[in-house]
Structure 1
Amino acid sequence: MNYLDNILFAILLFFGFGYFYNSVRKIRRNIKLGIEVDRYDNPKARWTNMAMIALGQSKMVKKPIAGILHIIVYVGFIIINIELLEIIIDGLFGTHRIFAFLGTTYDVLIASFEILAGLVLIAVFAFWSRRNVIKLKRFVSSDLKGWPKNDGNYILYFEVVIMTLFLLMNASDLHLQNVPGGFSHYIPVGVFPISQFIEPIFNGLSNELVMVLYEVFWWFHIAGILIFMNYLYFSKHLHILLAFPNTYFANLHPQGQFDNLESVTKEVKLMMDPNVDPFAAAPVDENATVSKFGASDIQDLNWVQLLNAYTCTECGRCTSACPANITGKKLSPRKIMMDTRDRMEEVGRNIDANKGVFVPDNKSLLNDYITPEELWACTSCNACVEECPVNISPLSIIMDMRRYLVMEQSAAPMPVNAMMTNIENNGAPWQYNQQDRLNWKNEN
């Protein structure tokens, strides 16, 4: 590389990482639109969660075939990008395989990278077949269409191109290393268990042409990585980064344990306190903000729920396990998360367009994205939470939106309203007088 190449490479890195940094800032800004919630307790359990679930992929392997394939792609993609460090140094300073001085260690690393690249290509082909040939039900569901459906394939194509360029880069390098008497700075280094079988395609070409091809593969490989990195913001594969904080900040309470609204708890305690005059006027705090029961838009959700939405992998495991969805109801937990993310992005664009201030747009997550029919179809069984490979909780969003419907709009379905009326009047869900509740024992 000459100095001009070094400068061009530095510019490419600057814009690639600069755009990525700007995307990260937007994600952080959008997540912080949510209500503050304390998820910093019990750090030991949280670190364990992250290590086991995000790093160890413990929930992925519940479906062994998909889990193993995912681990191959995950490990391969992460480890292979260790070579990105060498590429950056070579690109900035005009060196070639700067870590070659590591000797045997370098040989082992390059060989490992190549084997993983080959395994990744095999796994990607299997994933592509599952989506486009076998057409697993959770990948062809009605809630996964348009961009989300195509995005899964785009990612697979990205990975094929990046891994193929990596192997072609190594194969052309190996060819130049084998030139009798040596050629330029291509000294014999590294072990290439996969690209050695590709190297013969360069036989018959001039050394100068092969060197040009090596440069082309090198440039397109690093450009592909930077493009992929910035594509993550628009893709479900943002979970590559967010799975770690998402599992760390996940709810540690037992599944099925719901949080109580502080304002409601306080009201009930006052009602049950014999020392409180029920007819006395409550003191007015002029600085207090009027609390909203439940959630109708993303600003009413907490920041962990918004982090959940960005982390969603759209794998559909939640929806395929949902009993309401299985029985034909409109509910899809995956769609709940996708809709939340889409609304969050819409609010973010509104803020960008109005110089950092959200201007009401007469839209909300409830009704414009998620319908009451979907919310009331939920059985609150926690199957979606149990199945999610990165500890996302669609149920928490569903329950908060239900609270809004019941407590703010009195818009519960008729059977639910009847049940609540019976509990209020009779102390039980059934429409029987309290005095008659034990009559069953007198029946033969």
Structure 2
Amino acid sequence: MHYLQQIGFVLLAAIATWMFAKKIGGIRRNILLGKDENLNDQPAKRWRNLLLLALGQKKMFKNPLVAVMHLVIYAGFIIINLEVLEIVLDGIFGTHRLFAPVLGSLYNWLINGFEFLAVGVILVCVVFLARRNIIRLKRFISRDLDGWPRSDANYILFTEIVLMSLFLTMNAVDQTLQLRGNEHYHQTGAFLFSHLLTPLFNGMSDGTLVAIERTAWWLHIAGIFAFLNYLPYSKHLHILLAFPNAYYTRLEPQGKMKNMPAVQNEVLYAMQPETAPADAAPPAHFGAKDIFELSWKNLLDAYSCTECGRCTAACPANITGKKLSPRKIMMSTRDRMEDVGANIDLNKAFVADSKTLLHDYISVEELRACTTCNACVEACPVSISPLEIILELRRSLIMEESNAPQEWNGTFSNIENNFAPWKFSPDDRDRWAVELNA
């Protein structure tokens, strides 16, 4: 019977790990559908960004109270998972609290630390549920989150409460069996919080307690495996992708827009044909109409989005009632990637589906509302840039489709004819100075 449990655990772990690896492989493939881009310069700065932005959550501390609560959940997720290593090894080898004899008194300190974090996670999750569903902060009731995204956040918070409760229950029953001297439950010292729950189990038989402890153990580890496989379908994928996204964040000053060499070369060759290489070919496209023309970093941004809405809350266009929501830009880009990925899975290669990111997922109205102020980039806690995607789509809209408001077309015409946005010829541009000296 004991070996059957070990075999069952190994099968469960293997299936869960395989499913997770397969989905993560699909996400990696989807990200690499974007254009290649080298972001490996200045590694020291990049490691610093990873430590400060992803691990230290530097930007979150613009709101210290929320930052501390988020840090409790984050630390709980990272540190308590060290305890999961022991559970996995116990499941494989059929042992119980494998590390206790090795670590001695340190083991009790570790478990008490885990319990402190577990209680903290439960309390913070309750607060976050209240913020979303009772207080209903504006950025959490936006139409961007209608349907699955809003439910997703609640599912995660409930799941974390259940997993931490199972962890405490498992420890409380374990503690009760230790106090009774059960041969399979060795003394580890008192557990700080779960010890307070032991009176609930005092009237039960050893057999009942063992059944409860084993059930909590199995549900806890099975829940973690389920959470692992839910993660790639959830906004909480940022738990993993925040690290590479912070490392590969752009190091240029915010607000610096990337030049389009294709446009620059076209103008240069038109003005000075002799500079054009013999094999010069016109660019395939200007800007981006679909995910294939975006950079892989733009696509990594979309998968890293936490859907927290800080970008949209800071967006002046959104604040004044415009349709633009930077959060929705990222969510729509991710939706397009998922649809393209499903297309590839079905057909072994992408088959044109008559859809594009521009128009079918993100509208012209959204793109035109952007003021390129960079407020969304500054507000994002994991260094995502919705602005880059907006600019690339808007460039395609204008350069490929000649689709621009009349006011913009007037400006473009003036720049083309007068070399300035104003409707004055170059010869008349300094006339104001002559009149000033008259």
Following the alignment from structure 1 to structure 2, what is the Cα–Cα distance between the partners of residues 413 and 250? 33
Following the alignment from structure 2 to structure 1, what is the Cα–Cα distance between the partners of residues 120 and 238? 21
After superposition, residues 75-114 of structure 1 pair within 5 angstroms as: 75-101=75-101, 102-114=103-115
Following the alignment from structure 1 to structure 2, what is the Cα–Cα distance between the partners of residues 249 and 343? 22
User: How far 1:61 sits from its partner (Å)?
Assistant: 1.1
Following the alignment from structure 2 to structure 1, what is the Cα–Cα distance between the partners of residues 336 and 253? 29
Please tell me whether residue 407 in structure 1 is matched to residue 407 in structure 2: no
For the residue of structure 2 that corresponds to 1:335, the secondary structure is helix
User: How far 1:265 sits from its partner (Å)?
Assistant: 2.6
Shift of the 26–334 alpha-carbon distance from structure 1 to 2, 3 Å rule, reads: same
Following the alignment from structure 2 to structure 1, what is the Cα–Cα distance between the partners of residues 398 and 13? 52
The equivalent residue for 2:132 is 131
Please tell me whether residue 231 in structure 1 is matched to residue 239 in structure 2: no
For the residue of structure 2 that corresponds to 1:82, the secondary structure is helix
Please tell me whether residue 118 in structure 1 is matched to residue 119 in structure 2: yes
User: How far 1:260 sits from its partner (Å)?
Assistant: 1.6
Please tell me whether residue 364 in structure 1 is matched to residue 356 in structure 2: yes
Q: After TM superposition, which residue ranges in structure 1, 4 or more long, deviate above 4 angstroms?
A: none
Following the alignment from structure 1 to structure 2, what is the Cα–Cα distance between the partners of residues 291 and 436? 39
The equivalent residue for 1:299 is 292
After superposition, residues 188-227 of structure 1 pair within 5 angstroms as: 188-227=187-226
TM-score under structure 2 normalisation? Answer: 0.96
TM-score under structure 1 normalisation? Answer: 0.95
Following the alignment from structure 2 to structure 1, what is the Cα–Cα distance between the partners of residues 425 and 351? 52
**Matched-pair contact (CA < 8 Å) for 1:110–1:191:** no
Question: Match for 1:323: what amino acid?
Answer: P
The equivalent residue for 1:60 is 60
Please tell me whether residue 392 in structure 1 is matched to residue 384 in structure 2: yes
Please tell me whether residue 345 in structure 1 is matched to residue 344 in structure 2: no
The equivalent residue for 1:377 is 369
The equivalent residue for 2:243 is 244
Specify which structure has the higher proportion of helix: 2
User: How far 1:277 sits from its partner (Å)?
Assistant: 4.3
For the residue of structure 1 that corresponds to 2:135, the secondary structure is coil
User: How far 1:261 sits from its partner (Å)?
Assistant: 1.9
The equivalent residue for 2:29 is 29
**Matched-pair contact (CA < 8 Å) for 2:163–2:220:** yes
User: How far 1:282 sits from its partner (Å)?
Assistant: 6.7
Cα deviation digits, residues 34-83 of structure 1 (max 9, x gap): 00001111111111100100001101111112111100000011101101
After superposition, residues 169-188 of structure 1 pair within 5 angstroms as: 169-179=170-180, 182-188=181-187
User: How far 1:258 sits from its partner (Å)?
Assistant: 1.4
Following the alignment from structure 1 to structure 2, what is the Cα–Cα distance between the partners of residues 290 and 330? 32
For the residue of structure 2 that corresponds to 1:264, the secondary structure is helix
Cα deviation digits, residues 372-410 of structure 1 (max 9, x gap): 110010000000000100000000000000110111111
User: How far 1:283 sits from its partner (Å)?
Assistant: 3.2
For the residue of structure 2 that corresponds to 1:81, the secondary structure is helix
User: How far 1:104 sits from its partner (Å)?
Assistant: 1.6
Q: When the two structures are aligned, how many residues end up with a matched partner?
A: 435
**Matched-pair contact (CA < 8 Å) for 2:262–2:283:** no
Question: Match for 1:41: what amino acid?
Answer: D
Question: Match for 2:94: what amino acid?
Answer: G
Following the alignment from structure 2 to structure 1, what is the Cα–Cα distance between the partners of residues 41 and 104? 46
Cα deviation digits, residues 89-119 of structure 1 (max 9, x gap): 1111111101002112111100100001001
Question: Match for 1:347: what amino acid?
Answer: V
For the residue of structure 1 that corresponds to 2:72, the secondary structure is helix
For the residue of structure 2 that corresponds to 1:412, the secondary structure is coil
For the residue of structure 2 that corresponds to 1:143, the secondary structure is helix
For the residue of structure 2 that corresponds to 1:205, the secondary structure is coil
User: How far 1:289 sits from its partner (Å)?
Assistant: 8.3
- Stretches of structure 1 that go unaligned for 5 or more consecutive residues are none
For the residue of structure 1 that corresponds to 2:145, the secondary structure is coil
**Matched-pair contact (CA < 8 Å) for 2:105–2:188:** no
Shift of the 265–176 alpha-carbon distance from structure 1 to 2, 3 Å rule, reads: same
Percent same amino acid at aligned positions? 54
**Matched-pair contact (CA < 8 Å) for 1:165–1:218:** yes
For the residue of structure 1 that corresponds to 2:115, the secondary structure is helix
Question: Match for 1:296: what amino acid?
Answer: K
Question: Match for 2:329: what amino acid?
Answer: I
- Stretches of structure 2 that go unaligned for 5 or more consecutive residues are none
The equivalent residue for 1:258 is 257
For the residue of structure 2 that corresponds to 1:40, the secondary structure is coil
